[in-house]
Amino acid sequence: MTPLPRLAILLSGRGSNMEAIVREVQGGILQGVCEVAVVVSNEPEAAGLGVADALGVPTIVEPSRGRPRSAFGEALLEALDPFSPDLLVLAGFMLVLPPGVVRAYAHRIVNIHPADTRLHRGLHGYAWAWENQLPETRITVHWVDEGLDTGPVIAQAPVDLRQARDLAEVERRGLAVEHRFYSEVLRGLFTGTGSRSD
Ligand code: GRF
């Protein structure tokens, strides 16, 4: 049997996208498509670590604070090595990856961004949509290069923001799309199809 492609999911905080992906791997549209080899956090206190642990996924912490970027990058590569990931999946990972990591995993790193990366890059994508009273925003999954949300777009999904009452509602609607969409895109990358099987 051919081994399944292995994901390393990188996060810094809550981990709701990681959780959605792991659940799809364990019993949804990613089952039999790929496996989650490890969840990595650069923040020792990230809530997502506990979530991954409860789901039975190995976790590692590779702290980024107080370390030169290149040293963090080298340590991250070493920590990832034993898990032999085929794809790095950034899911709320709040750092621009050091260039050495991007080069080591060239064309094998994806990210989810809560806006159209051609219109808004960096933090606070939902606040940007809310403040501009957008009727719709677009979740973007893109390849990661050395810039901040600058890599080639893989796919986008619309979020209907009409009549949203506040920023919390914008975020709720957006995250609901993110949680479904990221796994669909991963499935598409591995199988050439993006549709849900349920
Ligand atoms: C998501 O909105 C994601 O698009 C952005 O950071 C947030 C992470 O949320 N990159 P979570 O940690 O997955 O809950």
| The pLDDT of residue 14 is above 50 | yes
| The pLDDT of residue 76 is above 80 | yes
DSSP 81: G
Q: Is residue 61 part of a domain?
A: yes
Residue nearest to atom 8 of ligand 1 (CA): 92
Summarize the confidence of residues 99-124 as an average pLDDT: 96
Query: pLDDT digit string (tens) for 131-162?
Result: 999 999 999 999 999 999 899 999 999 999 99
pLDDT of residue 51: 98
Nearest ligand 1 atom, CA 91: 13
Reported as a pLDDT band with limits 50, 70 and 90, residue 198 is: very low
> What CATH number is associated with residue 165?
3.40.50.170
Q: Please give the model's pTM, rounded to 2 decimal places.
A: 0.95
Q: Is residue 38 part of a domain?
A: yes
Domain count, the chain: 1
Determine what percent of the chain falls in helix, strand and coil, rounding each to the nearest 5. Answer: 35, 20, 40
| The pLDDT of residue 197 is above 80 | no
Q: Is residue 198 part of a domain?
A: no
State which residues form the domain around 59.
Answer: 6-191
Reported as a pLDDT band with limits 50, 70 and 90, residue 1 is: confident
Q: Is residue 196 part of a domain?
A: no
DSSP 189: H
Query: pLDDT digit string (tens) for 98-108?
Result: 999 999 999 99
Q: Is residue 47 part of a domain?
A: yes
Region of 163 please: left (phi>0), alpha (psi -120 to 50) or beta: left
pLDDT of residue 2: 84
Q: Is residue 197 part of a domain?
A: no
Helices 16-27 and 47-54, packing angle to 10 deg: 10
Q: Is residue 142 part of a domain?
A: yes
Percentage of the chain beyond pLDDT 90 is 95
Residue to mutate (ligand 1; options 11, 14, 17, 156; most atoms within 8 A of CB): 17
| The pLDDT of residue 25 is above 70 | yes
Nearest ligand 1 atom, CA 126: 2
Q: Is 86 exposed, middle or buried (0-12, 13-18, 19+ CB in 10 A)?
A: middle
